Amino acid sequence: MAVLKDRRAELKERILQELKRPAPCAQTLRMLKRRKLTLKDELARHEGLLRTLDAMGHRAGLQSGNQLGRV
């Protein structure tokens, strides 16, 4: 999940850089924002899965920080 968060932060930075341009490209902004939203949705799915595993007492819940609850 850390990789997804890093990618999302990179996209956020690229969006900010594009917005700072004198004439930001609307198409580029749309693409970057769509990718960022896709990553946000993916993160939410993974976090929900980890919360479910944690609630079930699975040893690879949120506490371990493992991706997708893998040990």
56: CB partners within 8 A, 6+ apart: none
Half-sphere exposure in the Cβ direction for 67 (13 Å, CA): 6
pTM above 0.85, yes or no: no
Helix (H, G, I), strand (E, B) or coil at 19: helix
Q: Is it the case that residue 1 has pLDDT exceeding 60?
A: yes
pLDDT digits (tens, 9 = 90+) for 6-65: 999 999 999 999 999 999 999 999 999 999 999 999 999 999 998 888 888 866 555 555
